[in-house]
Structure 1
Amino acid sequence: MAHYIIQVIAFQLLFLVTYDLFLKKETFFQWNRVYLIATSILSFGLPFIKIGLIQRSIPQEYMVQLPAVLIGGLVNEPLRVQGEDVLINGISTAQSISVLQIITALWIVGMVVFAGIFAFKIAHIRNLKRRNPSVFVKGVNVVTLQNTDAAFSFFGTIYLGENISEANKKDILLHEEVHINQHHSIDLLFFEIFKIVCWFNPLSYVFQKRLELLHEYIADSIVATKKQDTTYYQTLLSHVFNTENVSFVNTFFNKSLIKKRIIMLQKSKSKQLFQLKYLALVPLVFGMLIYTSCSNNPVEEGYSTANFGSDSDSEIIQNIERLKESIAKKGYISEEEELALKAFTVLTSSEGVDNIHFEEVQDLVDIPFGVIEKVPAYPGCSGTNEEMKDCMTKSMSAFIGKNFDINVAPKGLTGVQKIYVQFKIDTQGKVVNVKARAPHEALKEEAIRVVSSLPTMKAGEQSGKKVSVLYSLPIKFEINE
């Protein structure tokens, strides 16, 4: 989750930098409006997209992904399915995921607080509408605010302070009618919800501010075409700058925006040629897709990613051609290379384990777990495939939790430690080819030692013949000072 959030924020930052560098000063207001809304949404989807042409990774279905083992005392609840943590030998659920719980709790509290602020603002606007007189002008509901010169609109209602002069009211009504007709309140409400969900993301506020200014540019440009610009400038400058402090309403008088609005009104329309600046988005998005496709870190466990335009077949053909060239250049192959080619033939032939070379290379062939007919079985486990998988997971996790010595961890190492182990159960049921990746060499060696000491099991079977199966196992434990 943390990696996903970092990617979203990074992508949004890149989109905003591109906007500020190339687009912000152009008069393509409607295009810029679409850009800000579209890129803020696109940032959430890009991390999930994996392009097959770019992505080159090992298919996960060729390996059994066991649930993580959390080491500590007695098993206090059943193990769960792939991808979820398993409670082994004493670490309670609260202890094992305390950090995640704290982060989740903070996120929820933040959403509740910001949702409460949002609800307060909505209630404030409703009270203004209810407590002040209103009248319909050209089909628009206009509410007169007592003892103020504030001016803003929210959806189909315009709020005008009674202290505003009649001459200025005409300009303001024209301006706010543009906001209503252009449905600007929907844009700002979208970013208000965005801020509630992602309250910790500072860029959500930046996006909303950029869009708020764009709304004013759009309304100003339309009103300015209906009357002399000089008069409109004087109206903007001469009024006392006062407004309701509500982020999702379109305010007419905003001191921080007035100068920018007048500068933009005086600016000549951008040449159509400058619309080519939007093409800067193409290499930017493509670069993001390259990153997400080549990233080794998954966006989120349990979520699949889109795979567009996969070119795996042509890649295989290219690899085969290179292999043929290598063999031709060498002029011969060794006995080991010949066995590897026979194993490749077994895996790719329609006969599978019935291939004539299978008996010769059965120890070199790892059957994909997704298609194996009979999974390996831990001593004492029996029943259906699903029952044996569940029994094996529990038994294996209990064995590792009991025998893993966390005291081998070096001094000074604290927090949650993660070790990733890969091993194979061969045709004899033995655990072989154990490999591990850990934050410290001592933990790596201990993981290899414990997994290598697993008892001999009943080998997996395919079409009545014994086969080898690959496994991947995460081990987690927490070291407290």
Structure 2
Amino acid sequence: MIHYILQTIAFQLLFLLVYDLFLKRETFFNWNRLYLLFTPLLSLLLPFVQIGGIREAIPPSYTVQLPAVLVGGTQTSNAAATGGFEFPWMALWLTGLLVSIGWFIFKYFRIRKIRVQSSDWQHPKMRVKLIPGSNSAFTFFSTVYLGAELSEKQREHILLHEQIHVEEHHTWDLILFEVLRIVFWFNPLVYVFQKRIAALHEFTADRKVAMAKERNAYYQQMLSQVFQTDHISFINTFFNHSLIKKRIIMLQKSRSKRIFQLKYLLILPVICGMLVYTSCAQESDIATNETDNANNFVNGTNSEILDNIASLQEAIASQGELTAEEKKALKLLYVNAGSKGADNLHFDSKGGDQDKLAFAAIDKVPTYPGCEGQTNEAAKKCFTEKVAGFVVQNFNTKVPKDSPITGKQRIAVHFTITNTGNIENVRAKAEYPQLIDEAVRVVKMLPKMVPGEHKGKKVNVEFALPIVFEMD
């Protein structure tokens, strides 16, 4: 979820930069309106988009889960290490959501209160309410609210302006961003997008009124008086002090040349770049999920399923080779547990029979020195045995007597066998730094491998290696 949120924020930032740098100063108000409405929503959908062709065109990286290696002790148990504190992100989001909903309701009832206190004012084209003792002016949906203290001349210009807001349904745009602000209350870019479109609404209305009225008189009307207006984010206010200068500058601009509409094509390479990222990120997400599962295993997350998985891993490690029936059951378990089932890239269907799914989608797995010339399955078994033996032989199980390390400790190690056969990107997680350093040291000592291949290309392969260290 955190990854998804960061992606949407990054995408919205890119779209906003394109708007501010290239589009904001143009007078294509309708196009800009569509852009500001479309791109924030597109940013929410793009992280879910996968294009297989893009993913296949880029050299893949695969993650292989190795069985646990037992070092330092002769007995095994199912006891899990004590887990650490996990920040309550969901509770924080729900709290912000409830506060945002409360604030929205508060602002809505402020408008309702103004509506009740206001009197009807007859107008042939719009519903108009006069606010007693006020010189404010704003629109909410199909109703225009005017301060009763405004002069007739002021009302004439304001009503022309507010009529544009009513006819073009500008309030719906602001309500859309109010919903986004409630759900994504933590995302500052949603607030920026709402301010941009609110300003665009004013530019649009100003331009159309200036075409119907004498422009200099309209300038004077905006600058003639200081007006007090309550700021509510989902109403179109006529007298927004921070916008007056920008509105006048935009009114003075001549209409943009049609050739400048080509600027909107800038969105295409931006979207293409995002699609490449999201399509390729799906593979890394698989590795991330496996890493998270391993970390939960290491940190002792209080889950019956994780405890059972830990027991299964240790049982497999203790038994060594699985029977054909056990292998079939394990493969089906993984398929049924995954969100993509048999479409998971870690499996390759043979004849459409799920009972015959291959263990991994790699055509040729990396090979440990001395395991060459064997079948893929035999090479996997040889690789696993060699790595386990190497770790057991080289892991330093002696710890100082005053060390805080006690009992059984779990270490989650990840490393990459590159397309040149080198061991790189070694990292580990454990409760104690001494165990992390020792695990990284041992894995870095692994010999150079024969690289794995997929579809005729040498590929990087990610490995997850759980190590169970037990004090004698």
Smaller-chain TM-score range? 0.5 to 0.7
The alpha-carbon deviation at position 283 of structure 1 amounts to 1.3
Cα distance change of structure 1 residues 407 and 237 upon mapping to structure 2, 3 Å threshold: farther
Query: Residue 192 of structure 2: which of 200, 206, 214 is its match?
Result: 206
Cα distance change of structure 1 residues 228 and 139 upon mapping to structure 2, 3 Å threshold: closer
Query: Residue 190 of structure 1: which of 176, 179, 191 is its match?
Result: 176
2: CA distance, partners of 1:65 / 1:133: 77
Aligned to 1:442: 435
Aligned to 1:98: 86
Q: Is the 8 A contact 2:426 2:440 kept in 1?
A: yes
How many residues in Structure 1 have an aligned counterpart in Structure 2? Answer: 332
1:275 is the counterpart of 2:269: no
Q: Is the 8 A contact 1:151 1:243 kept in 2?
A: yes
- RMSD after superposition: 4.1
1:34 is the counterpart of 2:29: no
After superposition, residues 101-180 of structure 1 pair within 5 angstroms as: 101=88, 103-180=89-166
Aligned to 2:359: none
Query: Residue 378 of structure 2: which of 338, 345, 363 is its match?
Result: 363
Q: Is the 8 A contact 2:9 2:187 kept in 1?
A: yes
Structure 1 letter corresponding to 2:43:
S
Structure 1 letter corresponding to 2:6:
I
1: CA distance, partners of 2:245 / 2:197: 16
2: CA distance, partners of 1:474 / 1:227: 76
Aligned residue for 1:177, secondary structure, equals helix
Cα distance change of structure 1 residues 154 and 242 upon mapping to structure 2, 3 Å threshold: same
Q: Is the 8 A contact 1:171 1:232 kept in 2?
A: yes
Aligned residue for 2:53, secondary structure, equals coil
Cα distance change of structure 1 residues 151 and 65 upon mapping to structure 2, 3 Å threshold: farther
1:266 is the counterpart of 2:252: yes
1: CA distance, partners of 2:106 / 2:398: 55
With structure 1 as the length reference, what TM-score do the two structures score? 0.60
Runs of 4 or more, structure 1, over 4 Å off, are: 62-66, 299-304, 404-408, 444-449, 470-476
Aligned to 2:301: none
Aligned residue for 1:438, secondary structure, equals strand
2: CA distance, partners of 1:475 / 1:146: 76
2: CA distance, partners of 1:199 / 1:474: 39
1:57 is the counterpart of 2:48: no
Cα distance change of structure 1 residues 107 and 88 upon mapping to structure 2, 3 Å threshold: farther
Cα distance change of structure 1 residues 128 and 289 upon mapping to structure 2, 3 Å threshold: same
After superposition, residues 47-446 of structure 1 pair within 5 angstroms as: 47-55=47-55, 56-57=59-60, 89=80, 91=82, 98-99=86-87, 101=88, 103-295=89-281, 297-298=284-285, 339=373, 343=375, 362-364=377-379, 419-420=412-413, 437-439=427-429, 442-443=435-436
The alpha-carbon deviation at position 269 of structure 1 amounts to 0.3
2: CA distance, partners of 1:123 / 1:407: 68
Q: Percent identity?
A: 44
2: CA distance, partners of 1:25 / 1:233: 19
Aligned to 2:448: none
Aligned to 1:456: none
With structure 2 as the length reference, what TM-score do the two structures score? 0.61
The alpha-carbon deviation at position 471 of structure 1 amounts to 9.9
Q: Is the 8 A contact 2:66 2:466 kept in 1?
A: no
Unaligned runs of 5+ in 1: 67-74, 76-86, 313-322, 324-334, 344-360, 367-403, 412-416, 423-434, 450-469, 477-481
Unaligned runs of 5+ in 2: 69-76, 290-337, 349-363, 365-369, 382-396, 405-409, 416-424, 443-461
Aligned residue for 1:239, secondary structure, equals coil
Aligned residue for 1:158, secondary structure, equals strand
What's the CA shift string for 1:419-462, capped at 9, x where partnerless?
2569xxxxxxxxxxxx985146833866999xxxxxxxxxxxxx
The alpha-carbon deviation at position 64 of structure 1 amounts to 9.8
The alpha-carbon deviation at position 7 of structure 1 amounts to 1.6
Cα distance change of structure 1 residues 178 and 292 upon mapping to structure 2, 3 Å threshold: same
Structure 2 letter corresponding to 1:254:
N
Q: Is the 8 A contact 1:152 1:244 kept in 2?
A: no
The alpha-carbon deviation at position 473 of structure 1 amounts to 7.5
Aligned residue for 2:232, secondary structure, equals coil
1: CA distance, partners of 2:185 / 2:398: 42
Aligned to 1:375: none
Aligned residue for 1:164, secondary structure, equals coil
What's the CA shift string for 1:29-53, capped at 9, x where partnerless?
1111111111111111222223323
1: CA distance, partners of 2:257 / 2:196: 22
Cα distance change of structure 1 residues 441 and 8 upon mapping to structure 2, 3 Å threshold: farther
Cα distance change of structure 1 residues 273 and 436 upon mapping to structure 2, 3 Å threshold: closer
Deviates more, 1:223-232 or 1:438-447: 438-447
What's the CA shift string for 1:361-402, capped at 9, x where partnerless?
652479xxxxxxxxxxxxxxxxxxxxxxxxxxxxxxxxxxxx
Q: Is the 8 A contact 1:142 1:159 kept in 2?
A: yes
2: CA distance, partners of 1:209 / 1:407: 62
2: CA distance, partners of 1:474 / 1:45: 35
Aligned to 1:18: 18
